[in-house]
Amino acid sequence: MVIDFHTHIFADNIAKRAIPTIEEKGSIKAVLDGTKPRLLASMEEAGIDKSVVLPIATKPGQTRTINEWAAREQDDKTIFFGTLHPDNEDYKEHIRFIAEQGFKGVKLHPDYQDFFVDDERMYPIYYEILSAGLMLMFHAGLDVGYNPPYHCVPKRLRTVLDTMQGGVIIAAHLGGQSMWHEVEKYLVGRNVYFDTSMGLCFYPVEQFERIVNNHNAKMILFGTDSPWDNQAEELQRMRETGLTPEQLDCILYKNAERLLSL
């Protein structure tokens, strides 16, 4: 069993516009076209059994439309998180819908959605998400499409963890893209999961192994950030690390199985 805990797809008509826009903004080339059929084909090629899909509403008016689309698309192989925009005044209604649809969590992107992760106005939203039994995932660290200041750096996220003190919170990109020394200083050993997306082609393997060993392999989730990284190549990189078979099993599927109640 292999579960990719960090992927993105779009409705077919949206993907045709979204992928080129993000490529240009971030000076990054997509591996896939951003559609569900290509993700499923990639999973088949890589030997990945399930992928968690993480939609992002970049405008408040997109929230309901995206969540309704995700509810139609969710199936045994693609497990969706819901989306929520911080400017949704009716956020409680959206969170109820997300929970009713069987989504497993909510992904927030502080850079795309223009809020600092430790902004006090966000805490009632976090509380509502976690109280509904949903996981809360953040894009963390640098984003290639944006300039500083970045909105979810490890020190700010540590403040959120200290304030919330409970629930399943996930920091993508090993706790903070390109900020892994800060991750080791502020986040390692805290009650937060890291996913490995974008990924072993960026951070030094030695540092990755050190973070896993010091943080606990039971708190690490395999992720690729597809379509922005190659699932098969990232899985191969993971298997070539010096982690033990037991650690790899935790990261590649056991932790995800537990969190997703599979």
Q: Residue 174 maps to which CATH number?
A: 3.20.20.140
- Burial label for 183, CB within 10 Å (0-12, 13-18, 19+), is buried
Q: What SS3 state is found at 95?
A: helix
| Residue 19 one-letter amino acid | I
CA–CA separation, 200 vs 198, rounded Å? 7
Structural domain of residue 19, as residue ranges? Answer: 3-260
For residue 105, the cross-strand partners are 135
Interhelix angle for 123-131 vs 91-100, to 10°?
20
| pLDDT computed for residue 52 by the predictor | 98
pLDDT in tens, the chain (262 residues): 999 999 999 999 999 999 999 989 888 899 999 999 999 999 999 999 999 999 999 999 999 999 999 999 999 999 999 999 999 999 999 999 999 999 999 999 999 999 999 999 999 999 999 999 999 999 999 998 899 999 999 999 999 999 998 899 999 999 999 999 999 999 999 999 999 998 898 989 999 999 999 999 999 999 999 999 999 999 999 999 999 999 999 999 999 999 999 9
Total number of domains in the chain = 1
CA–CA separation, 114 vs 153, rounded Å? 14
Q: Is the dihedral of CA 224, 230, 232, 233 positive or negative?
A: negative
| pLDDT computed for residue 88 by the predictor | 98
**What size, in residues, is the chain?**
262
| pLDDT computed for residue 171 by the predictor | 98
